[in-house]
Structure 1
């Protein structure tokens, strides 16, 4: 089985053949470095020229031997994605961290001295596994640091150190947070103790033969075991573990991903400024580039970027928050959000009648003969409690009836958030209880594809802005202050069964879904907001249905 990595280039093969220079994006530069370091087995790397390069920052990478592939020969699955892309048999992987992880999994290079015993992906191979929408650390490595590079490349004068560089500096100054940290601390302490004993050059004593007899078992602890003892109540700050690397004492994929960016920062900001203003980051950077294993990457560092006009660089004021989601000191925009009754009432008063969609009556009739449905798609085959099985069947019937009312022969129906992904054209998008922002991501995909959609959103309280989403969603709702909007979606989760606050929670759900519906209407959709029936099948029972202007429903729910 052979795998392929596809990176974008802003010049052609003939241009490269004349100058040995590739004009590449920052993401392509990073993936190329990781590819050279890992040397993945049976994996080819191709550059392909992209036409839409206007206004995009690029780097001039000097490299002699590369493989180019014409656009018409690029697999359609790859062309459907945003670069970089990995094609592994019948699986298509896109996204900076996801492609980098795929390269690591197929890596064929000798494991480095400082790597975790599981390799660059660390404990349970989980390094940068969580998507940037839910992981502060992945977002920093995949989104924030790339944006910082691009913003600096677009400036001619720099007067302030970028905020994200200060965030990483603060991160390196914090206690290390890794799995089994006390076990790691004991192992490091044991290694240091072994080194000290070796350096003592103690000559072993030659024992007489009669002293080789088997000693009796005695109940006592060796001093060595006692010396290695580290209690789990010990504070993280008191452990002798420092940020030798980005995630702690082990070299991980995060280091390989950040290293090319910091090479560019030294070019743009000057190595002296980095050393003076960001000493921990500079120490981390120098430690990496001086490692023998990194020579294959540092040899690629031939990009010459002119140092910008630096006018008395200063450090910005940045909240000293953690880059780890598991850290209580992480950045949490909702940490001061309390749904006080008076705040909720004030937020609801700000919603005028013309903003909310009217909830339509669900007139869909019919059902599903579950006896003819295969076990893999049948909730009755899941060995669940009867009550739960019946409710799940009712939920699925509501969505199925809505889809059959709008779909026509030949339509491609995609059920989002229920398994593997889909590439290419589709006509109807469906999502049952896509958690939080996932419902908005599905909605955006449907709007971009001009596809019909049937959504039953969930987890309103976990909504948050990302690099791709902002709230409120629609222009019509932009008049709502963000703090009141946050209060409304937080209250929308208060829909517990037979609770006096459920009615208010239902209205808040309808307001958030009205915002989503108004966004679709602004793009020419006809939108219906209904509710599942019976209402008892789930507390999150809103049904948002959208049809593009050039389509018609067979039956209006």
Structure 2
């Protein structure tokens, strides 16, 4: 890897130098590597960083896969006949019309109400006070014309470096007392909502090429995409986007202002399905009819016996860094985490052989992987986690222990392609458990998983539920969703009977997972972890290839 500076006026850039037999090649740095390197950069110009798009969602699939493919097919059509607009483009236009949801939604909507009232009865709020001081003339000039609404102020404040912290004043009484139903909605600034993310970067070349074709051949159709046109114009106001686009050969279109204010929409927009699949809210009755239906087919709640319910690690003699107490959690929670680890560690240590490779998927702060690496020094342990801070905490604990058989990979699990013998996952959320099991089956590795967040289980581009043939013949998708919904009702504060039903639903959902793995040549057990109080989500699915 090298840094190069062509002249005094040109900026430095990083590249990978690859020597081939015939000719040297220059490869651009992978995004994850670039972001990692930028995290160590003190230069404030690089404040313009990007939020990583969320995985395992229909929205991410739309941005990263289906829109690029749809635009590629659209560009291949050289016909002069009016084109069929890709449904993915219509989905994006519809998405941009939806209200924005952010964690401080109420606060921002009250600020917008205050701004609207100020604009209605007097001069607008002073724009100068709302603007942040930035460190480059280019950034300042590009932002001067951008602060036209509260949404834009909030959005661009994330892309600038403030000299001084902004002072916050309490809102007037009439603003504080306004009902939530009377607050104005927040409008989209960028693709994800208010903030500039990688989704905008991924979408930009696709939408640009789409608009180029439409403007050249079928310009009358441009008015059907006012929100897309507004987004396209707004992207150009982000500092350095124009410069970067120019280097990539993108020459932005100058769209008529009429387009961004048009109220016309595509005639089929109302019929376009939402980007995110909405679960059916009309669950009539409880899970008992579904459970009875399964019983009629001979499928009943059944746990395999725990192989050693009283076994426990001697946490008092283990180094402090092995304990979850080093993972920044309360003593009560750390005790429950130790109990959970007792269950997983017992199963894994009884399966592992010297030289085995063990992968801790969705590893978080490394509670599982660090214990396994310490207890199994002859095995290689790899932690897969997409959150950098979690891996930093895990590596710090690992360094304290002096572990030499542990590796850390910051990535989503589907990008891991290495061979391994045992896959583990403690409380992998929703379909993440299914992704872990699928990954293990493809590699013919054993798996030890503890599922979580059953209510988030839903059909995706990779998985359809129920999974096993036995459950498919008995239950519909909606009936499976009912089981998942009630499987999440196991919290300790719920009535005992309610928790019992939740536990039974958990078992049935996991039995479906187990049956599906058995159909792939595995011996699978659904075990209840001990003690039961270690977690409301205390199921453990253990699979071994036959």
Cα deviation, residue 147, structure 1? 4.5
Question: Which residue number in structure 2 is paired with residue 55 of structure 1?
Answer: none
Residue in structure 2 matched with residue 495 of structure 1 by the alignment: 490
**1:395 and 2:331 matched:** no
Q: Which has the higher contact order (CA 8 A, sep 6+)?
A: 1
- Does residue 104 of structure 2 align to residue 133 of structure 1? no
465, 475, 499: which one pairs with 2:459? 465
Q: How many matched pairs?
A: 417
Question: 1:508 and 1:273, CA in 2 relative to 1: closer, same or farther beyond 3 A?
Answer: farther
For 1:360-439, list aligned pairs within 5 A. 360-364=304-308, 366-379=311-324, 388-419=333-364, 420-421=383-384, 422=409, 423=416, 424-439=418-433
Once the two structures are superposed, what CA deviation does each residue of 1:315-366 show, in whole Å capped at 9, x if it has no partner? 3543686x7xxxxxxx56236143623x641454146545568422113263
C-alpha deviations, 1:406-435, integer Å up to 9, x for none? 111111222222235245322111122222
* Segment drifting more, 451-460 vs 476-485: 476-485
1:270-323 C-alpha deviation (Å, 9 max, x unpaired): 5525403213313433565699952541463479xxxxxxxxx963543686x7
Consecutive unaligned residues of structure 1, counting only runs of 5 or more, are 5-38, 50-64, 70-82, 89-98, 112-116, 122-126, 196-224, 304-312, 324-330, 550-557
Matches within 5 A, 1:55-454: 67-68=25-26, 85-86=30-31, 88=33, 118-119=47-48, 121=50, 127=51, 129=52, 131-133=54-56, 138-150=60-72, 152=74, 160-174=84-98, 181=108, 189-191=125-127, 231=175, 233=178, 245-246=190-191, 253-266=198-211, 269=214, 271=216, 272=219, 274-285=221-232, 288=235, 293-294=241-242, 296-298=244-246, 300-301=248-249, 315-318=268-271, 331=276, 333-334=278-279, 336-338=281-283, 340-341=285-286, 344-346=288-290, 348-350=292-294, 353=297, 358-364=302-308, 366-379=311-324, 388-419=333-364, 420-421=383-384, 422=409, 423=416, 424-454=418-448
Equivalents in 2 of 1:164, 1:191: separation in Å? 37
Give the structure 2 partner of residue 537 of structure 1: 534
Structure 2 unaligned blocks of 5 or more: 5-9, 119-123, 132-168, 252-265, 365-382, 385-408, 410-415
- Measured after TM superposition, the shift of residue 194 of structure 1 is 11
Q: Is the aligned partner of 1:481 residue 2:473?
A: no
Name the CA distance, whole Å, in 2 between partners of 1:192 and 1:390: 53
Q: Whose Rg is larger?
A: 1
Q: Distance in 1 between matches of 2:321 and 2:237?
A: 54
* Pair 1:87–1:434, CA change in 2 (3 A): closer
Contact 2:87 2:272 in 1 (8 A): no
SS at match of 2:471: coil
Work out whether 1:509 is the aligned partner of 2:526. no
More helix by share: 2
Measured at CA, do residues 155 and 486 of structure 1 come closer, stay the same or move farther in structure 2, by a change above 3 Å? farther
RMSD over aligned Cα, in angstroms? Answer: 4.8
Q: Residues of 2 paired with 1:337 and 1:418: CA distance?
A: 35
Shift in Å, 1:457: 1.2
Of 520, 524, 533, 1:523 maps to 520
Question: TM-score w.r.t. structure 1 length?
Answer: 0.61
8 Å CA contact 1:399–1:454 kept in 2: the answer is: yes
Between the aligned partners of 1:189 and 1:459, the Cα distance in structure 2 is 45
Q: Cα–Cα, structure 1 residues 290 and 172, in superposed 2: closer, same or farther, change >3 Å?
A: same
Deviation at 1:477, TM superposition (A): 2.7
- TM value normalised by structure 2: 0.62
Q: Distance in 1 between matches of 2:497 and 2:194?
A: 52
SS of residue in 2 equivalent to 1:336: coil
Question: How many Å separate the matches in 2 of 1:151 and 1:172?
Answer: 23
Provide the C-alpha distance between the structure 1 equivalents of 2:14 and 2:76, rounded to a whole number of angstroms. 34
How has the CA–CA distance of structure 1 residues 118 and 137 changed in structure 2, closer, same or farther, with 3 Å as cutoff? Answer: farther
